[in-house]
A and B are shown apart, each in its own frame.
Chain A
Amino acid sequence: MARYSNSPFSRIRQGDILRDIQYVEDAFLDEDGLLGISYIQFPFVVVLSQDCDLASDVRSRGKDPEENEAKVSTDAIVESILVCPAYERDLFIAGEHLSEIGLIKMQSWKVKSRDWEFIVGNRDQRYHFLSGSKELGTNDMVVDFKHFYTISRLRLYKDYPSHYVGTLGELYREQISQRFAYFLSRIGLPDE
């Protein structure tokens, strides 16, 4: 099975990789009375909402993904879509992948280390390694499961046609989905 495909679909799918996605983090009035809108632009994100939920959402809206009113049923609509940013490998290794949003002390990694091998092999539960693809024009990337965001479905559907990069193959999509769910459901025990 191919690791990726790059066939845009009629709707957003779980496992879609999107480019240059904006996440609005705050809206505020500053000291001069100006309305500020602060957002983070992520070079790449992976969609992790359940695919059946995304399908039901579109069906509920009458098959037009950009339709924001539920025409058929309101029971199965989703208002936001879950995504995880994917960071470029080299920046991630250097711990500099979030330096432009003020997080300058991220962990760095030694390439020839057991820890990095674990990340590349998807054996570190916090991270998910995505191999680069010539077809998609992407470098190796790393997803950090501690970083996840929800974006308005309407916003994401407006961006989808021009921001679509590719889609994880079905098995690889299931793999990242399951690993993400496992990471979020881990049980934190008190330090003894």
Chain B
Amino acid sequence: MAGSDETIGAAREVGSLYETGTGGYYSRRRVGLEQEWQAGWQSVTSAGEDMLYSEAGTEAGQSSTQMKVNRPRRRIMKFRVIYKDG
């Protein structure tokens, strides 16, 4: 978890540029943030070969510059457990 948190934190620093948008959404000032977000997750998954991440990044019908982030969301991460002898 620690590795993933660090990566999320890095993405969120950019995300601190969130501004209040219209229609109850938060829009992102920087185009491409979502890609950074996704890249962050990819680096997490590549760092841990046995880790699976089960969440879709962008919801259907939403552009990369407008994601709903103002509603509580449930997320599930899954990891393969490796048992070591000894």
* Contact of A88 with B by CB under 8 A: yes
Question: In the complex, what's the smallest C-beta–C-beta distance from A8 to chain B, in angstroms?
Answer: 12
Q: A20-B69, A162-B13 are in contact. Are A90 and B81 (CB under 8 A)?
A: no
Are the C-beta atoms of A34 and B75 separated by less than 8 Å? Answer: no
Beta-carbon nearest neighbor of A20 in chain B: B12
Are the C-beta atoms of A40 and B74 separated by less than 8 Å? Answer: yes
* Contact of B71 with A by CB under 8 A: yes
* Contact of B78 with A by CB under 8 A: yes
Q: A43-B70, A100-B71, A138-B20 are in contact. Are A37 and B76 (CB under 8 A)?
A: yes
Indicate which residue in A41, A96, A163 contacts B73 across the interface (CB closer than 8 Å).
A41
A110 to B25, CA, bound (A): 21
Of B24, B70, B72, B77, which is in contact with the most chain A CB atoms at under 10 Å from its CB? B72
Q: How many interface residues does chain A have, given as a range?
A: 20 to 34
A-chain residues with CB within 8 Å of residue B16 when the two chains form the complex:
162
Are the C-beta atoms of A35 and B74 separated by less than 8 Å? Answer: no
Are the C-beta atoms of B74 and A29 separated by less than 8 Å? Answer: no
B-chain residues with CB within 8 Å of residue A33 when the two chains form the complex:
80-81
Beta-carbon nearest neighbor of A161 in chain B: B9
Are the C-beta atoms of B24 and A35 separated by less than 8 Å? Answer: no
Beta-carbon nearest neighbor of A139 in chain B: B20
Q: Interface code B12-24, partner A: CB below 8 Å = 1, 0 otherwise? A: 1101101110001
* Contact of B1 with A by CB under 8 A: yes
Question: In the complex, what's the smallest C-beta–C-beta distance from B14 to chain A, in angstroms?
Answer: 11
A100 to B69, CA, bound (A): 11
Q: A91-B24, A162-B16 are in contact. Are A30 and B72 (CB under 8 A)?
A: no
A-chain residues with CB within 8 Å of residue B79 when the two chains form the complex:
34-37
A-chain residues with CB within 8 Å of residue B39 when the two chains form the complex:
none
* Contact of B47 with A by CB under 8 A: no
A-chain residues with CB within 8 Å of residue B31 when the two chains form the complex:
none
* Contact of A71 with B by CB under 8 A: no
Are the C-beta atoms of A40 and B72 separated by less than 8 Å? Answer: yes
Q: Interface code A1-45, partner B: CB below 8 Å = 1, 0 otherwise? A: 000000000000000000010000100011001111111111100
- B residues at A contact (CB < 8 Å): 1, 5, 9, 12-13, 15-16, 18-20, 24, 52, 69-81
In order of increasing CB-CB distance, the 4 nearest A-B pairs are: A90-B24, A34-B78, A35-B79, A101-B74
